[in-house]
Structure 1
């Protein structure tokens, strides 16, 4: 029986040693897996941080670009508003030209063909009738500035607003150069 007890003890000791080796081997495997997981986690973390930094930089650049674009658009709108006011003020100035300049303008531009009808400003009606007695002048229709000549059913528009609109595209660039040089 002593031999059975010794055999049992020896088997238990060997089982303990074997179990300890299995546990040590498992612990080593666990350490290796944990180390590998830590490295993968760090690599993933670094990659995510790098990607986030790159996206943040791209977003920052897009925001800067959008801000510059918006500033340029605002500046352009402000310049267009100034140019618009220049044309409006120019129109107001020519609407208030003196009588002699208006008569000269009509004399230079009207054809005074037979049967033509002049449409003028209401407050200049008597002046135009007096200066151009050979012409027919409308007493029913009026313009804000300048004049319109109707001949053979065709209207030739010489109002100052129309004349300014006609040259506006041509001289806008020049006005911008003068104003914003």
Structure 2
């Protein structure tokens, strides 16, 4: 006759198992480095930047134009990657979908207050493209620390304000419209 042992898990043991499962899931989601040197751009914008894409691990200052922002995010989202928007409470989600952004892979942090830099830094761990409207000027030391994290994680940031030590500036100037009536497409440029 054998002896049957019944082992009951305590609540602490169950929590430990949950913690291990969560750590595995977080590890699966985290990207240590990007395999891509650039993030894709829509065909209409590819000739504006070297290597026809946004360099990973960098920050670009951009015009605060939702259309430009969505155009830059659209190609990344269509590839199946996640994007994030920080400090932009007025973004139109219907317009985002018109540019091909998958809303199920878009993280919105509309009002991070003065913690916007910490939010961007945390998102850089798992999101390849982050758009941010900084609520305060960026100090050189903070910019250098964030850029080091971006390089390590392969993340790219689009800032609607000037960024110290940024990779480049993408602006809209002398826009001309193509299309019928009030509709159409505005043509951006890069410097």
Relative to the length of structure 1, the TM-score reads 0.25
Greater relative contact order structure (CA < 8 Å, 6+ sep): 2
Find the structure with the greater CA-based Rg: 1
Higher strand share: 2
